[in-house]
Structure 1
């Protein structure tokens, strides 16, 4: 499905309920599979969470997690510790190009039985579940936090728990802390000090209910709408000020782009703040929230300002190489953008080309990041249905906030 986007008007207001956080929901789905007395409320309706839930409840030998990277990593560790269970874990063609060797090596060092079915270091994987009694593992600290969280989530079900030593500087601390917080909320004895994560074995004796906070990365598109509007009073829910999600840094990041955030009960209100003087070049290190990079870069493009974003080394192994994808698509609007392995530099550009057709590369965030730009110029989004990966009702939300969405 290809859609054409234009604006009806640029004064935005109204309330929208955003689906539960995919990051929180997927962690809780693993914990629920290990400890069935857990109940999850406000669970994400994203494709990724649906795929993971299906994988964890399947009795089949072949399990296909499609494009869901989190599901691949979390379920690799989960199935490795399911004694007597044998599965082949596979995914889409892109998933089979995304590395998983670091996690597999860590699990093998603990005694797991995992074999590559095609290319060394990549899915699909043949996993023969075993009782894992080894309880010490070392990992480089600058790797994707999903590898670390995958081990942490399975750890309380292991007979001797797990001690993970991270070597070097940790780059994705918020996601590790999210996992740690969910474990401690469950009642697990767990700590993270001096680069050592320690998790004790655990059994859940009584019912436990978790309510998933709405997704902050999904909130980023509403922040972009507010920044690019003439005026905005946008309310989105359900959010809390003391969030577990690293992407809640949106509040500070977008303050400099003219968006004021007010926390109400379970709701945030976004207002366009015209008193803010926009920087000529917006600078941010997004090592703790790399999923915001595409949205922020496109917001800066729409505002006619430059930006320098760093800490983006994990973007090359996402659904696509997001840095190359951003460079390709932003260039179509006439702007100049330079990338390295972990950064991008956008030069200020004022006359955006119209009717650009934006390719999405099987990446939900490419489609959603560019959509708010319709407040500045008419554009088209290819493969618009890809948004279902994390935000199935995204186009309804855009229509609600006066973006005209027409299938072509």
Structure 2
């Protein structure tokens, strides 16, 4: 599906939007629910990834195909490895077979797991024979995707002796690790996180616990971008959000304040308001703790005509696509002066924009959604626009509420 997007009428933008539950929180809670059936979940994400996670958890033997869902691949690898009697082959899309899994597999093997590679070593598909894991300590690099670490944390309380993780080096995406630990705490699991050592204590069962998933802050980022790029003012109300979020991407409220967007917190929602222009000509950010919002920020800065230096982006190369190369290619099409390395992005200030460019999305939901707000500044096309269903199926419908002209071509 190819969409043509152009800006709304010359007026202030206003809308109230209910965003689905966080995919990150939902998939963590779904795994915990599989381990502890007394866990009940409200406001579950309606994303493709969460549906794939739910379906995968129901399979006892056979092939589990998680398509493009990286979180499901990591979490289900750990889950099935710890499930005595279950035997599955875990696979996914062509891109998924190119995304490394070796660090997690080796960590699980050190705990006693039985996992083998069906094709290329270090990559899916993998064959898993579930076993009772008796060892209670593991060491792994700290500068890897936090999903590897969270996968181990999630199964840890179900192990007979719990688990101690020793993270070697500088830790990446700490908020995502803290999110996982926070959800364990909410169902009564005792944990500790001191320095580079994480300890999760065993818990055989939990009392009935109902947890409400906070709406997805990554999805909120696109509305922050819309407000920042609006020429005639904007006020957008999003729910359901809370001030003390477990999600690392909630740093958006602070980052976009420097781009002219004010966030007002209410009991169960946030209000985004355009209050001015960017405070500087170049935005400098270390996004090691929130790499998923890098695409949105880079596009916002380009739309505003300011520069940015974004660092801490080394995990973006193993996402749905190599997001740094994708940003370089697509922003260059639009006229941007941009350069990327394997862990950073630099965009120079500039007002020149090429109109009616077709943005390729590379099977990556965030490429489609990050570029969409740019329609407020220049008309453009989004190729394979249906990819947004991976995390935010209602995205295009919600953009239409703001008056943005969206047409199939």
TM-score normalized with structure 1 length: 0.99
Match of 2:323 in 1: 322
Match of 2:354 in 1: 353
Aligned residues: 407
Deviates more, 1:74-83 or 1:346-355: 346-355
CA contact (8 A) 2:248 2:290 kept: yes
Deviations 1:284-339 (A, max 9, x none): 11000000000000000100111110000000000000000000000001111000
Compute the displacement of 1:348 (Å): 1.4
Relative distance call for 1:277 and 1:200 in structure 2 (3 A) is closer
Match of 1:8 in 2: 8
Match of 2:385 in 1: 384
Compute the displacement of 1:84 (Å): 1.1
- Counterparts of residues 178-197 of structure 1 (less than 5 Å): 178-197=179-198
CA contact (8 A) 2:100 2:123 kept: yes
Relative distance call for 1:205 and 1:306 in structure 2 (3 A) is closer
- Counterparts of residues 121-200 of structure 1 (less than 5 Å): 121-200=122-201
Match of 2:38 in 1: 37
Compute the displacement of 1:172 (Å): 1.1
> Are 2:287 and 1:261 aligned?
no
Which whole-Å CA distance do the structure 1 matches of 2:278 and 2:257 have between them? 11
State the Cα RMSD in Å: 0.8
Compute the displacement of 1:16 (Å): 0.2
Compute the displacement of 1:134 (Å): 0.5
Gaps of 5+ in 2: none
Deviates more, 1:205-214 or 1:298-307: 205-214
Match of 1:81 in 2: 82
> Are 2:243 and 1:251 aligned?
no
Match of 2:314 in 1: 313
CA contact (8 A) 2:8 2:402 kept: no
Residue 259 of structure 2 aligns to a residue in which SS? coil
TM-score normalized with structure 2 length: 0.98
CA contact (8 A) 2:60 2:88 kept: no
Which whole-Å CA distance do the structure 1 matches of 2:278 and 2:316 have between them? 30
Relative distance call for 1:393 and 1:119 in structure 2 (3 A) is same
Compute the displacement of 1:60 (Å): 4.2
Match of 2:375 in 1: 374
Relative distance call for 1:149 and 1:378 in structure 2 (3 A) is same
Residue 76 of structure 1 aligns to a residue in which SS? helix
Match of 2:108 in 1: 107
CA contact (8 A) 2:187 2:206 kept: no
Residue 61 of structure 1 aligns to a residue in which SS? strand
